[in-house]
């Protein structure tokens, strides 16, 4: 090989030497590569890879479009069972960052039902807060977590309800009220105020926190023996309701259920100890869910004996119980909600078929956020609302809508012409907007809690009152406390 290489090299060298004499050595190397033989390159030692190159290649990200390869390994810890639901349902009732309102007074047994409270913000006593928590009266959507401790505005509607409760207490009447109104107008809060007033007045309180939970077919059901037409009991739900009743009505400062002895001889599937108290009766139903409905019936019978305290019976989300439930009967037909024993018990009292001998109030709050269509209920409420404004102008029934005759029958008292008496047995409390005085009062409370940093004067109150759609309290809270711009 050397001869041709050398010859060519020399000839190249002679050509280039004139132009680039200084770079002769480089030119020689270049000439070697340009010759026809490849042996030199072949026998040469392999070129070691440059260190930098491999590293840059490694770090490069390439687009990976292959399916089925886990690109991201999820190493996060999964939430424990029930943890997410607990977080969703958590009720926070205090805010350590909010200021204590020095002027805030609590509801007291003596004056909670007095009309002088109108327009005041009253705190809910601690024991009552525990009881309200036990009956699940607080909702996650309400703004309790913004303030130091729970307090409510005694608005016009609250005073109306207080009057009803006073009448029920004094004259041992059974008065029934349906709470209606726009979205965020404070129906559930008014219900809560009714419950807290009842707790403060040491009534017996039975609250069905959400009608939807009763009818959505998530708990066990079974036909009630010897019922015609067939009714259905819900033992798990009834047992949990009994435990709520016990927890809420048998507090440390008012152990009312421990004091009352069982006087009737209820027919129970399980033996009750001799000389038992109502607490023991309820515990029997909690421990043995299969006996929970007979225990509830026995409890109700005990509570309606003469000399017992008045009863507050309440439900939220009423529309759900005014239709067919999600349960199926043996013929695979939907069971009407009124055939579920708990709902029937409530509806019997709401419709006036049964009354409370010791007096009491039946409260049914409607909802605008979570409500199935129930034309019969909507129409009945509309009629009652219209009658309050002008008895001669009531709306007509739309014949193209499906009527549920059982619901219409249950609510027929809402359609009856206005009696001259002061308090109708069944009526609607329309929860409207706040007046400007009430709005000012609640906004002063916001400001004193340190949650609203503004000077509360007429102009400011009017501005927020208007922004809140003429004093809708939920919108008012949104506009003044929650919304930070």
Partner 1 sequence: MPFISNINFTEGTLVKRSLETFFGIGPKVSQSIMARFHIQPWAKVGSLKASTLLDLTAELSNMKIENDLRREIQDSIIRLKDMGSYRGRRHAMGLPVRGQRTRTQIATARKLNRTLRGGDGRLGM
Number of residues that this document lists for the chain: 485
Which residue lies nearer to partner 1 by CB, 237 or 445? 237
Which residue lies nearer to partner 1 by CB, 171 or 326? 326
Interface with partner 1 (CB under 8 A), residue from 138, 203, 293, 327? 327
Shortest Å distance, C-beta 328 to partner 1: 4
Which residue lies nearer to partner 1 by CB, 122 or 342? 342
Which residue lies nearer to partner 1 by CB, 91 or 217? 217
Q: Which stretch binds partner 1 (CB under 8 A): 47-55, 127-135, 219-227, 436-444?
A: 219-227
Interface with partner 1 (CB under 8 A), residue from 328, 353, 454, 483? 328
Which residue lies nearer to partner 1 by CB, 182 or 220? 220
The H or E element containing residue 60 is none
> Is 293 a binder of partner 1 (CB under 8 A)?
no
> Is 223 a binder of partner 1 (CB under 8 A)?
yes
Residue of 153, 99, 155, 149 whose CA lies nearest to 129 = 149
Q: Could you tell me the end-to-end alpha-carbon distance of the chain, in angstroms, rounded to an integer?
A: 87
Tokens of 73: 């390994």
Which residue lies nearer to partner 1 by CB, 203 or 221? 221
What's the per-residue H, E or C state across 316-349?
ECHHHHHCEEEEECCCCCEEEHHHEHHHHHHHHH
3-state SS, residue 448: helix
> Is 332 a binder of partner 1 (CB under 8 A)?
yes
Q: Give residues with Cβ within 8 angstroms of 313, minimum separation 6.
A: 206, 207, 346, 349, 360, 361, 362, 363
Q: Which stretch binds partner 1 (CB under 8 A): 129-137, 143-151, 242-250, 328-336?
A: 328-336
Determine phi and psi for 390, rounding to 5 degrees: -150, 110
Shortest Å distance, C-beta 213 to partner 1: 12
Q: Which DSSP state fits 369? A: S
User: 112 with 158: CB under 8 angstroms?
Assistant: no
Tokens of 80: 């424990």
Interface with partner 1 (CB under 8 A), residue from 20, 105, 183, 218? 218
User: 363 with 179: CB under 8 angstroms?
Assistant: yes
> Is 324 a binder of partner 1 (CB under 8 A)?
no
Q: Which stretch binds partner 1 (CB under 8 A): 31-39, 69-77, 320-328, 466-474?
A: 320-328
CA gap 484, 473 in Å, rounded = 17
Which residue lies nearer to partner 1 by CB, 83 or 170? 83
Shortest Å distance, C-beta 157 to partner 1: 37
Q: Give residues with Cβ within 8 angstroms of 121, minimum separation 6.
A: 101, 104, 151, 152, 153, 154, 441, 442, 445
Residues 61-120 that bind partner 1 (CB under 8 A): none
Tokens of 369: 């956020």
Interface with partner 1 (CB under 8 A), residue from 5, 94, 114, 219? 219
Shortest Å distance, C-beta 177 to partner 1: 32
Q: Which stretch binds partner 1 (CB under 8 A): 145-153, 256-264, 326-334, 385-393?
A: 326-334
Beta strands in 184-261 (DSSP E): 204-208, 222-223, 232-233
> Is 232 a binder of partner 1 (CB under 8 A)?
yes
Q: Which DSSP state fits 94? A: -
Tokens of 265: 């001889």
Give me the DSSP letters along 20-67: -GGGHHHHHHHHHHHSS--HHHHHSPPPPPPHHHHHHHHH-------T
Interface with partner 1 (CB under 8 A), residue from 23, 86, 92, 222? 222
Shortest Å distance, C-beta 340 to partner 1: 12
Q: Which DSSP state fits 374? A: -
Which residue lies nearer to partner 1 by CB, 304 or 329? 329
Which residue lies nearer to partner 1 by CB, 92 or 222? 222
Axis-axis angle for helices 292-303, 341-351 (nearest 10): 20
Q: Which stretch binds partner 1 (CB under 8 A): 24-32, 198-206, 215-223, 453-461?
A: 215-223
State the Cα angle at 180 between 198 and 431, rounded to 5°.
Answer: 75
Which residue lies nearer to partner 1 by CB, 220 or 283? 220
CA gap 87, 91 in Å, rounded = 9
Q: Which stretch binds partner 1 (CB under 8 A): 49-57, 98-106, 121-129, 213-221?
A: 213-221
Binding residues for partner 1, rule CB under 8 A, total 15
Interface with partner 1 (CB under 8 A), residue from 138, 144, 199, 221? 221
Interface with partner 1 (CB under 8 A), residue from 146, 217, 272, 386? 217
CA gap 165, 117 in Å, rounded = 15
> Is 270 a binder of partner 1 (CB under 8 A)?
no
Largest CA distance in the chain: 134
Tokens of 402: 């499906």
Shortest Å distance, C-beta 221 to partner 1: 6
Q: Which stretch binds partner 1 (CB under 8 A): 216-224, 388-396, 405-413, 449-457?
A: 216-224
The H or E element containing residue 312 is strand 311-316
Q: Which residues bind partner 1 (CB under 8 A)?
A: 217-223, 232, 326-332
């Amino acid at each position: 090989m050397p001869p041709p290489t050398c010859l060519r090299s020399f000839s190249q060298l002679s050509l280039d030497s004139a132009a680039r004499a200084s770079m002769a050595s480089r030119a020689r190397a270049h000439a070697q590569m340009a010759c026809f033989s490849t042996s030199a390159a072949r026998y040469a030692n392999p070129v070691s890879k440059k260190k930098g190159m491999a590293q840059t290649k490694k770090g490069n990200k390439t687009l990976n479009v292959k399916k089925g390869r886990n690109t991201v390994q999820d190493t996060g810890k999964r939430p424990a069972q029930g943890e997410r639901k607990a977080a969703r349902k958590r009720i926070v009732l205090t805010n350590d960052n909010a200021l204590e309102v020095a002027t805030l007074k609590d509801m007291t047994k003596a004056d909670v039902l007095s009309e002088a409270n109108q327009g005041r913000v009253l705190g809910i006593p601690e024991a009552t807060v525990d009881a309200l928590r036990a009956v699940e009266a607080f909702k996650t959507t309400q703004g309790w977590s913004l303030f130091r401790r729970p307090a409510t505005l005694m608005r016009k509607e609250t005073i109306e309800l207080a009057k009803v409760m006073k009448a029920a207490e004094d004259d041992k009447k059974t008065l029934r009220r349906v709470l209606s109104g726009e979205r965020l107008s404070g129906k559930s809060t008014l219900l809560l105020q009714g419950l807290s007033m009842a707790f403060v007045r040491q009534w017996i309180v039975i609250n069905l926190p959400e009608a939807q939970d009763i009818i959505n077919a998530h708990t066990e059901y079974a036909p009630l023996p010897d019922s015609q037409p067939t009714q259905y009991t819900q033992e798990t739900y009834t047992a949990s309701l009994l435990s709520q009743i016990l927890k809420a009505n048998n507090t440390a400062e008012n152990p009312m259920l421990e004091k009352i002895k069982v006087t009737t001889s209820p027919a129970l599937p399980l033996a009750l100890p001799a000389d038992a108290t109502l607490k023991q009766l309820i515990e029997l139903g909690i421990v043995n869910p299969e006996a929970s409905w007979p225990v509830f019936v026995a409890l109700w019978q005990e509570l309606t004996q003469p000399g017992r305290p008045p009863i507050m019976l309440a439900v939220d989300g009423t529309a759900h119980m005014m239709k067919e439930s999600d349960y199926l009967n043996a013929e695979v037909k939907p069971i009407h909600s009124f055939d579920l024993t708990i709902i029937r018990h409530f509806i019997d009292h709401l419709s006036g078929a049964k009354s409370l001998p010791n007096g009491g109030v039946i409260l049914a709050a409607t909802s605008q956020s979570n409500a199935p269509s129930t034309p019969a209920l909507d129409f009945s409420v509309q009629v009652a609302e219209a009658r309050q404004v002008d008895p001669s102008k009531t709306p007509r029934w739309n014949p193209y809508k499906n009527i549920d005759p059982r619901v219409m029958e249950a609510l027929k008292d809402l359609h009856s012409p206005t009696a001259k008496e002061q308090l109708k047995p069944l009526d609607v409390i329309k929860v409207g907007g706040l007046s400007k005085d009430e709005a000012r009062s609640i906004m002063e409370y916001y400001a004193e809690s340190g949650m609203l940093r503004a000077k509360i004067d007429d102009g400011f109150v009017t501005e927020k009152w208007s922004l809140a759609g003429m004093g809708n309290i939920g919108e008012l809270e949104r506009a003044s406390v929650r919304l930070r711009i």
